[in-house]
Amino acid sequence: MTAQLIDGNALARTVRAEVAGRVAALQQRGITPRLTVFLVGDNPASQVYVRNKVADSEQTGLAATLERYPAALPQAELLARIRALNADARVHGILVQLPLPVHLDAQAVIETIAPEKDVDGFHVASAGALMVGRPGFRPCTPYGCMKMIESIGYGLKGKHAVVIGRSNIVGKPMALMLLAQNATVTVCHSATRDLARHTREADVIVAAVGKRNVLTADMVKPGALIIDVGMNRDDAGKLCGDVDFAGVSQVAGWITPVPGGVGPMTRAMLLVNTIEAAEAAAS
């Protein structure tokens, strides 16, 4: 392997320690920062994610409440519960785990969360703030990717960044954050013709598709910085990303592993957003 690893676990530990200090400072003022997580239905992956989010929060000293509802929960009831928490000053962050059961309108649910409690950064107000370069909550996964890039002292100005994937959760906000750091950004997606032609030109590649081996060694310029957002299983059932790690790590300059890369940083940035929500409410 020639690429240097960017260790998401180590960086997340540093971020969590910093959050824990800020939590303690608020607690000294009699304020307990609180996150409420909604889980509707019994998607197995979502159950693991929300359990981890609650555990991370508690480990940092944040109070976290998990509200679980059956898949058949009527939308009006979910919206009413979110509105009640919007009005509850003890709750600083509200997160609704996605995907939601199909009868629920996810965007309508997200828009019901008060923007000042939107710690996932998915509300149109948060997305709009990112778009125009105003302060606001940034979606945790691309926010974590930016922290990883920053951690190696990598200057993005003038660099060509290729984002593979255009989801509202990762691809689109990732592109905007890279742009805000003066990278030249190309967004590739399922209808892109000749993906490799784009990636071979890239100094930075963020793979966020949710499919194994989207990026292979022949598609990477030597020395490039590779961020792997994917979370997949290989044929043996082992966790793997979107990037062919064995091959690409022979060519790249830096690479994030899966597991132990972007995943822990996504979780850490949720804690950052939550402590920021609590600090803003307390100021």
We find the least distance from the C-beta atom of residue 81 to ligand GUN, in angstroms, to be 15
Q: What is the edge-to-edge ordering of all strands in the sheet holding 63-69? A: 63-69, 34-40, 93-96
User: 98 or 114: whose CB is closer to ligand GUN?
Assistant: 98
**117 belongs to the catalytic site:** no
Cα 163 to Cα 186: distance, rounded to the nearest angstrom: 6
57 binds ligand GUN (CB under 6 A): no
Contacts of 277 (CB under 8 A, 6+ apart): 33, 92, 93, 116, 117, 119, 137
User: Residue 56 corresponds to which amino acid?
Assistant: D
Contacts of 198 (CB under 8 A, 6+ apart): 162, 186, 188, 192
Expressed in percent and rounded to 5, the helix, strand and coil fractions of the chain are 45, 15, 40
120 binds ligand GUN (CB under 6 A): yes
We find the least distance from the C-beta atom of residue 127 to ligand GUN, in angstroms, to be 14
In the set 60, 97, 273, 274, which binds ligand GUN (CB under 6 A)? Answer: 97
We find the least distance from the C-beta atom of residue 266 to ligand GUN, in angstroms, to be 6
How does DSSP classify residue 90? T
Compute the C-alpha angle 273/176/229, nearest 5°: 70
User: 118 or 244: whose CB is closer to ligand GUN?
Assistant: 118
Task: Count the residues of the shown chain that bind ligand GUN, applying the rule CB under 6 A.
Answer: 8
Q: State the catalytic residue, choosing from 120, 203, 228, 242.
A: 120
Instruction: Identify which of 24, 27, 3, 1 has the alpha carbon closest to the alpha carbon of residue 152.
Output: 3
Footprint (CB under 6 A) of ligand GUN, residues 74-93 = none
273 binds ligand GUN (CB under 6 A): no
In the set 95, 178, 226, 248, which binds ligand GUN (CB under 6 A)? Answer: 95
In the set 6, 96, 258, 269, which binds ligand GUN (CB under 6 A)? Answer: 96
User: 60 or 141: whose CB is closer to ligand GUN?
Assistant: 141
**120 belongs to the catalytic site:** yes
We find the least distance from the C-beta atom of residue 10 to ligand GUN, in angstroms, to be 21
Element housing 184 (H / E): strand 184-188
123: number of CA atoms within 13 Å, CB side?
Answer: 17
**CA distances from residue 175 to 164, 168, 224, 233 in whole angstroms, order as listed:** 10, 11, 17, 26
* Residue labelled with tokens 């890039």: 149
User: 26 or 146: whose CB is closer to ligand GUN?
Assistant: 146
169 binds ligand GUN (CB under 6 A): yes
Segment near ligand GUN (CB under 6 A), from 28-36, 96-104, 145-153, 254-262?
Answer: 96-104
145 binds ligand GUN (CB under 6 A): no
Annotated active-site positions, please? 53, 97, 120
User: Can you give the binding site for ligand GUN, defined by CB under 6 A?
Assistant: 95-98, 120, 140-141, 169
